[in-house]
Structure 1
Amino acid sequence: MNFRNLSYLLLIAAAAGSACSPHPFVMWFLIINLLTLVFYGVDKRAACNATSRVPEFTLLLLGFAGGWIGAIFGQQLFRHKTKKQPFRTWFAISVILNLLIVAGAGWLMRDLFL
């Protein structure tokens, strides 16, 4: 099993695990941020050892899926992906899109529960 398939399997497992909790959105953000932090660490270690890396698309997807807080911590903690400009631009776009989606979903939920 390659790393990309493993990452998507872990995303599905995170979604299933958060759906089974009493507060699924809170659990989703906790799990996805922890998973993202781990992926940044794995990618940094792979970069130092010149082994197979985590694809940038996967890192961006994790950030877009709500793991951008874990991504920011991972970038600072591991000093990884802090200077690569094309990645930083796409990362900022993914964070903004995630915030817009979460805000829009919150706005729609507010209308449903009022």
Structure 2
Amino acid sequence: MLSADQLDEFATEGYLVVRGLVPADAVAAANAAVDRLIERDPLPAGHIGNHAYMGLADPVLLGLQTTTPILAAAEALTGADTLDPAEALQVALSIPPWLHAPAGTTSTALSA
């Protein structure tokens, strides 16, 4: 699943960006699910900084664990059969001016 170089990078850096791991259609579905979440439960007017939606059981977002290689990639780091799919999840947002983008990206949105 992950190359020796990727495993070494994770061991050295403590994180790993694997571009293209999640297919573009799954990324689009996840982005749409987050958009629907925000529409149903909007942030307070004028809110800036961090905001989290906790304990979610969104089937699209949870489904990423079993319909994409996400769980297999994580187990490549932790060991075979060490992880179970989550039953709930968190969506954490950073609303400007606290701009945060994962290493190597230019956007706070999920990207393929």
TM-score, normalisation: structure 2? 0.28
Structure 1 or 2: more strand by fraction: 2
Q: Which has the higher contact order (CA 8 A, sep 6+)?
A: 2
Structure 1 or 2: more helix by fraction: 1
